A and B are shown apart, each in its own frame.
Chain A
Amino acid sequence: DAKTTQPNSMESNEEEPVHLPCNHSTISGTDYIHWYRQLPSQGPEYVIHGLTSNVNNRMASLAIAEDRKSSTLILHRATLRDAAVYYCILREDYGQNFVFGPGTRLSVLP
């Protein structure tokens, strides 16, 4: 299975943009890039996913490098409620299970 590498932790100030990086140099052509986040003492929740093109939704944006070996989750204006562990996961379109690594712990400072 292709693996992802994320920084252990990051800090951001409230109301500033946050760029969470993910490296996946062994990604295959059929791997989708998924992002989930886990707030303290809760189950993870879906944030966004994409294949090749950049994606936007109400929660975040996903910027995917042209060679697909890295991606960045962008939170446009961090709030205190965005403090969570963010997981970057690769998964083929159908059939495979998700593999949740340790993720990046994001702290948001007021």
Chain B
Amino acid sequence: DGGITQSPKYLFRKEGQNVTLSCEQNLNHDAMYWYRQDPGQGLRLIYYSQIVNDFQKGDIAEGYSVSREKKESFPLTVTSAQKNPTAFYLCASSISSGGWEQFFGPGTRLTVL
């Protein structure tokens, strides 16, 4: 089955540690996205990538980094510079940056202790 996988579903880290969230898709989509969601809020865009080896900052990129070395993978690193990293992180992809449908993964809930 085609889709997007994110792992792990729950992640706990100590304050001051960097942590990398995985996102993989087998939909052959060019564009991929990372969003952050806080309780009771909508989604906010962290980073997006329109094509391999290229990515752009979204609205809240500070304290995060990404890479796009392969079409199917778009990992997100939450660095120690991110002041409030505890949140629900969602990865999505679309056939292109102009695609009208984004497909979302199940999300990773990160808790920093």
Task: Write out the residue numbers on chain B whose beta carbons fall within 8 Å of the beta carbon of A34.
Answer: 100
Q: From known contacts A32-B100, A93-B98, A100-B35, infer whether A43 and B107 are also in contact, taking CB-CB under 8 Å.
A: yes
Is B107 touching A42 in the complex (CB atoms < 8 A)?
Answer: yes
10 further contact pairs, Cβ within 8 A, besides A32-B100, A42-B106, A43-B107: A34-B100, A42-B107, A43-B4, A43-B105, A94-B97, A99-B45, A100-B42, A101-B42, A102-B41, A103-B42
Task: Tally chain B residues at the interface, Cβ within 8 Å.
Answer: 24
- Point out residues on A near B: beta carbons under 8 Å: 32, 34, 36, 41-46, 49, 87, 91, 93-95, 97-103
Shortest Cβ distance from B71 into chain A, in angstroms?
A: 19
- Point out residues on B near A: beta carbons under 8 Å: 4, 33, 35, 40-45, 48, 58, 90-92, 97-98, 100-107
User: Which label, helix, strand, loop or mixed, suits the secondary structure of the A interface?
Assistant: loop
Shortest Cβ distance from B112 into chain A, in angstroms?
A: 19
5 A-B pairs (CB sep. < 8 Å): A43-B104, A43-B106, A49-B100, A94-B98, A99-B45
Is B100 touching A95 in the complex (CB atoms < 8 A)?
Answer: no
